[in-house]
A and B are shown apart, each in its own frame.
Chain A
Amino acid sequence: MLLPETDRRTLLVGGTAGLLLAGCDKINQSPTARSIFSLAEDANYRSQRLIGRNALATEYDEKHLSPVFRPNGSRMPDSPDYQRHLASGFSAWSLAVDGLVERPLRLTMDALLKLPQRTQITRHDCVEGWSAIGKWTGPRLASLLDLARLKQQARFIVFHCADVEGGRPYYESVDLVDAFHPQTILAHRLNGQPLPVQNGAPIRLRVERQLGYKQAKFVMRIEARERLDDLFGGKGGMWEDRANYQWYAGI
């Protein structure tokens, strides 16, 4: 029996749309297509470095602060080590700076506070689309790296964190342009208060020209490396390894 005209048309249109959608999902799974699509990440990284290598992120006034700075991701690392430091107010905690450096360091919170401090009111942009404006205070990452003196081969700075997401230790990495950028700081204060645990106490990275998942929280160790492909999943960050988020998150 022939279907009525409208039913046939619906089937035809619906069927075509369904095929196209299934096609998109197939393309999405194709390694070739994915490697072509990811050329855009490279193009974005290169063009951003070409146009705005040393550009400064917008800094705002106090009146632009978000009433509530939304926390996201891990809010409370549950490792016994972290819990012990938290209980003692991070008094025995220290930050390791090692890897490809001439002088490996261990910096206590007092030592970090003695370095020149920078305060900046900047916008935090999550990859999901929301934004929050907060006031951050902390030493520049460049000050620490200057103290430790990078070896010639060092090309990336890796941040090892105390939190674990989906069974994976959180880590992130940036290139040296962002590492030495004047607004790249290790924040220990948010909106004039000691950094809350949910926002990454005792210190979190602020790398202001990239998205939220690059702003590593609960930083325990900073490591200078020549390459990233031999570390954890090889893509330079927990979200990059776990779900293929772009390593360059400036867009």
Chain B
Amino acid sequence: MRAPDPLDVKRHRLSTRLWHWTNVVAFFCMVMSGLMIFNAHPRLYWGKYGANFDHAWLEIKGANGVGMLRVGDLKVETTGVLGAWKDSAGAIRYNAFPGWATIPSSYNLSDARLWHLFFAWVLALGLLFYLVRSFWNRHAQRDLAPTREELKPAHLWQDVKDHARLRFPTGEAAARYNILQKLAYGSVLFVMLPLMILTGLCLSPGTNAWAGWLVELFGGRQSARSIHFIVMWGLLGFFLVHIAMVVLAGPINEIRSMITGRYRIRPDPRSKPAPHPTDNKDEAHAAS
């Protein structure tokens, strides 16, 4: 008896794929130009105001060849990475984030703003179109919303264990999002990206005039700036886990599926008959 054949399915729509790669570019331009903007004043505060004479809950400093990160009362020496680092010419620099992490690579606040304020539109409009479309064609309700069954602790725990053992879904289950994926994507789409956009808008004195309530909702402009910074790390964390999962789940297949839309499903080894009759294979391909 021969093993069941792998099956190609159409996994991602063109709009999803275009949006995904636009976001890759926009996200990195936003993070790196944002880190440069942070370098202009590497201190974070809670509340409505905050400047050099006020207490900063986070600060990156550098002097005399030593870089330092302070969070609350915790001080960590970060020489070489934060606060004091060598540029490509070997000269020591005292900016908070190093040149390899920022756009542009050497200190320039106005250029960083040029990038940041442009890609902010790309990211925000992209998310808006994606969300409207995803609710309209029911992608969000159908594929992203967790079911009651999936949210049961036993199911969640099973999925966590499967992920930890790198046991990835096969067969038909691989064509759908599992609960951990749904929660991860949901937190990015409905929580973190909207938070980034809203806290970013709160930093604008113009927006502040017509949406003062929004600034107050976040606890004031400097709180909004702190939240903007913290959620950025949340998104970077998502990115790292996302890349790790792509690599573990088969990078070629995964990346191809996000470029061409086609995804190859490994058949479920437990099911004796192939999910689709082999004599219908061509039709399955054509229909997918």
Residues of A within 8 A of B (CB): 17-18, 21, 24-25, 28, 34, 36-41, 43-44, 48, 51-52, 55-58, 60, 64, 66-68, 70, 123, 125-133, 208-211, 239, 243-246, 249-251
**A125-B51 CB under 8 A given contacts A55-B210, A210-B205:** no
Interface pair B208/A57, CB less than 8 Å apart? yes
Q: Mark B25-66, 1 if CB is under 8 A from A, else 0.
A: 000010010000110110100001111111000000000000
- Interface residue? B105 (CB, 8 A): yes
Q: Which residues of A sit under 8 angstroms from B215, Cβ to Cβ?
A: 58
Main secondary structure of the interface of B (DSSP, over half): helix
Which of B8-16, B112-120, B163-171 interfaces with chain A? B112-120
* Given known contacts A40-B118, A128-B109, A129-B40, A21 and B100 CB-to-CB distance under 8 angstroms: yes
A130 touches B51 (CB 8 A): yes
Residue B262 CB within 8 A of the other chain: no
Q: Give residues 207-266 of B contacting A (CB, 8 Å).
A: 207-212, 215, 221-222, 225
Query: With contacts A132-B51, A246-B113 known, is A25 near B105, CB below 8 A?
Result: yes
Residues of chain B within 8 A of A18, CB atoms compared: 100
Interface contacts (Cβ under 8 Å), in number, total 140
Chain A residues within an 8 Å CB radius of B113:
127, 245-246
| CB atoms of B206 and A209 under 8 A apart | yes
B103 beta carbon closer than 8 Å to chain A: yes
**Contact across chains for A44 and B100 when beta carbons are under 8 A apart:** no
Chain A to chain B contacts (Cβ below 8 Å), 14 pairs = A28-B103, A28-B115, A40-B120, A41-B117, A44-B117, A48-B204, A48-B207, A55-B210, A123-B48, A129-B40, A209-B206, A249-B205, A250-B204, A250-B205
In the complex the two chains form, is A67's CB within 8 Å of B41's CB? no
Contact yes or no, A58 B41, CB < 8 A: no
Q: Which residue of A lies closest to B48 (CB)?
A: A64
**A70 with B53: in contact, given A40-B118, A128-B41, A129-B41 (CB under 8 Å)?**
yes
Q: B186 near A: Cβ within 8 Å?
A: no
Assess whether B110 is interfacial by the CB under 8 Å rule.
yes
Task: Enumerate chain B residues within 8 angstroms of A127, measured Cβ to Cβ.
Answer: 40, 109, 113
B162 located at the interface, meaning its Cβ lies under 8 Å from any Cβ of chain A in the complex:
no
**A-B complex: 9 closest residue pairs judged by Cβ atoms:** A250-B206, A52-B210, A251-B204, A55-B209, A55-B210, A129-B41, A68-B53, A130-B51, A128-B40
Q: Does B104 interact with chain A (Cβ within 8 Å)?
A: yes
Contact-residue size bin, chain B (C-beta under 8 Å from the other chain): 35 or more
Give, as a whole number of angstroms, the nearest-CB distance from B126 to chain A. 14
Q: Are B49 and A251 in contact (CB under 8 A)?
A: no
B98 to chain A minimum Cβ distance, whole angstroms, is 11
The contact of A66 among B37, B51, B209, by CB within 8 Å, is: B51
In the assembled complex, the CB of B196 is this many whole angstroms from the nearest CB of chain A, namely 15
For B53, list chain A residues within 8 Å (CB). Answer: 66-68, 70
Query: Are B114's CB and A37's CB within 8 A?
Result: yes
Residues of chain B contacted by A41 (CB below 8 angstroms):
117
Q: Which residue of A lies closest to B121 (CB)?
A: A40
Which residues does chain B contribute within 8 Å of A68, judged by CB atoms? Answer: 51, 53-54
For B203, the chain A residues whose CB sits under 8 A away are: 125, 129, 251
Q: Does B283 contact A (CB under 8 A)?
A: no
Q: A211 CA to B37 CA in the complex, in Å?
A: 14
Decide if A251 touches B206 in the complex (CB within 8 Å). Answer: yes
Q: How far is the CA of A208 from the CA of B49 in the complex (A)?
A: 15
Closest to A69 in B: B51
In the complex, the answer to whether A24 meets B221 with C-beta atoms within 8 Å is: no
User: Considering only CB atoms, which chain B residue lies closest to A49 in the complex?
Assistant: B206
Q: Nearest A residue to B103 by beta-carbon distance? A: A24
User: Which residues of chain A come closer than 8 Å to B172, judged between CB atoms?
Assistant: none
Chain B residues near A43: list those with CB within 8 A.
Answer: 121
Q: When the two chains form the complex, which single residue of A38, A66, A129, A250 contacts B114, counting CB atoms closer than 8 Å?
A: A38
Instruction: Assess the A210–B206 pair: CB atoms within 8 A.
Output: yes
Of all chain A residues, the one with the shortest Cβ separation from B56 is A130
B118 lies within 8 A of A56 (CB): no
B221 CB → nearest A CB, Å: 5
Could you say which of B48, B52, B120 contacts A60, with CB atoms under 8 Å apart? B48
A51 and B210 contacting across the interface, CB-CB below 8 Å: yes
Closest to A17 in B: B100
Asked whether, in the complex, the Cβ of B38 is within 8 Å of the Cβ of A129, the reply is: yes
Q: Complex Cα distance A28/B111, Å?
A: 7
Q: Which residues of B contact A28 (CB under 8 A)?
A: 103-104, 111, 115
